């Protein structure tokens, strides 16, 4: 039987790594579960609900870390948290190891198995564990609601006795998981939606949702491994900006979602474009945590520049914590089943998912890029 600890998160994070539903399932599958006192409060899951599901409520957080065979978190651990782990324990969370090298070093020093949700391979068998996609989908949904909230006009076509109100024009940059959900949400609200993406395969997906795909002359397919976009050439980005600019300056709202794994977010909306947008327009930048797709975005802030409202808020899934936690915890439940079938730890590196997502194991850093970065930093 494995001892599972559901950790609390840093101040400001509303999501939680397990819900009473997934706690009940983990216990039914042969594990004991402890939940940090108040861990689910931000997502409106009280301690009493966890206790009713069979969990122990832990008030000694440091002791619970030290006693656990498996620790579940949403965000990467701090180095101090990692050092609390008992030797050889398993941690499953978002890790973003290249941005959290001290924590990776601490995990390796504890001979911990660090399972990074952000490195789960995008293969069919791993879809149920794909927390990046589950959270991106919620972020795309929330981005459109934020745009609608800040717009000084309605989204849908409205016919009134006083005349007809034309629908809002929305431009979505990037048609990955977040972008597709943004498209679907904007269409449900009645907006006219246009979309740009560097991957030619996205055109069919965009049009299936009722949006218009912005084609770029001479475009090549920039689909990368796992469905992510590859980095575009300067020439392609120049042509894309020319084509997209026409739509952006006429748009009521722009949702930017373009990311390249391990790289700074591409700049798709320049200051010059913002200046030419109509007063009252809105930009919601979902890439702000990686530098932003919009040149005028400010990390963690909502600002108005040149008459345009620019939303640069972090962690949009955390603004919808109930459902964000529900889907995230189900992703983690599948990870628990993979690593602890019937409560017995099984770390099989012959498994493609485990091989791709495990960053540290038995005191070594398995991921070559992370090991190289650690070596350079030391």
CA distance 79 to 96: 14
| Active-site residue, selected from the candidate residues 109, 228, 245, 276 | 228
290 is catalytic: no
Helix (H) or strand (E) run with residue 185 in it:
helix 177-188
228 is catalytic: yes
Buried b (16+ CB within 10 A) or exposed e, 346-373: ebeeebebbebbbbbbeeebbbeebbeb
Q: At which residue do the structure tokens 């069979």 appear?
A: 54
CA distance 299 to 291: 8
3-state secondary structure 327-350: HHHHHHHHHHHHHCHHHCCCCCCC
| Active-site residue, selected from the candidate residues 130, 197, 252, 285 | 130
| Active-site residue, selected from the candidate residues 7, 110, 119, 133 | 133
| Active-site residue, selected from the candidate residues 127, 208, 233, 271 | 127
Angle, in degrees to the nearest 10, between helices 321-339 and 20-28:
20
122 is catalytic: yes
141 is catalytic: no
| Active-site residue, selected from the candidate residues 24, 122, 169, 239 | 122
109 is catalytic: no
Nearest 10 degrees: Cα torsion 62, 63, 64, 65: 50
As annotated, the active-site residues are 122, 127, 130, 133, 228
């Amino acid at each position: 039987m494995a001892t599972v600890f559901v950790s609390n998160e840093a101040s400001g994070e509303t999501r939680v790594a397990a819900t009473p539903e997934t706690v009940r399932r983990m216990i039914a599958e042969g594990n004991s579960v402890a939940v940090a006192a108040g861990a689910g409060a931000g997502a409106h899951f009280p301690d009493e609900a966890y206790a009713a599901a069979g969990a122990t409520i832990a008030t000694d957080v440091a002791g619970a870390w030290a006693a656990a065979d498996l620790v579940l978190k949403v965000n990467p651990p701090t180095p101090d948290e990692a050092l609390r782990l008992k030797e050889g324990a398993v941690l499953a969370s978002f890790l973003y190891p290249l941005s959290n090298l001290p924590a990776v070093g601490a995990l390796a020093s504890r001979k911990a198995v660090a399972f990074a949700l952000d490195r789960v391979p995008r293969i069919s068998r791993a879809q149920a564990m794909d927390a990046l996609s589950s959270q991106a989908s919620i972020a795309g949904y929330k981005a459109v609601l934020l745009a609608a909230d800040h717009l000084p006009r309605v989204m849908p076509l409205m016919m009134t006795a006083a005349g007809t109100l034309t629908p809002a024009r929305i431009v979505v940059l990037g048609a990955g998981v977040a972008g597709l959900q943004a498209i679907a949400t904007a269409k449900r609200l009645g907006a006219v939606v246009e979309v740009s993406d560097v991957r030619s395969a996205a055109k069919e997906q965009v049009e299936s949702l009722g949006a218009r795909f912005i084609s770029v002359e001479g475009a090549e397919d920039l689909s990368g491994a796992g469905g992510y976009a590859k980095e575009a050439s300067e020439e392609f980005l120049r042509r894309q900006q020319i084509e997209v600019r026409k739509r952006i300056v006429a748009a009521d709202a722009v949702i930017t979602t373009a990311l390249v794994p391990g790289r700074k977010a591409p700049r798709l909306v320049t200051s010059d474009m913002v200046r030419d947008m109509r007063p009252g327009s809105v930009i919601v930048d979902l890439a702000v945590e990686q530098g932003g797709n919009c040149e005028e975005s400010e990390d963690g802030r909502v600002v108005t520049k040149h008459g345009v409202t620019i939303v640069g808020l972090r962690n949009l899934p955390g603004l919808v914590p109930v459902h964000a936690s529900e889907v995230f915890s189900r992703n983690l439940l599948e990870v628990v089943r993979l690593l602890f079938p019937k409560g017995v730890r099984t770390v099989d590196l012959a498994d493609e998912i485990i091989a791709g997502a495990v960053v540290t194991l038995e005191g070594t850093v398995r991921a070559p890029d992370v090991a190289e970065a650690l070596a350079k930093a030391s």
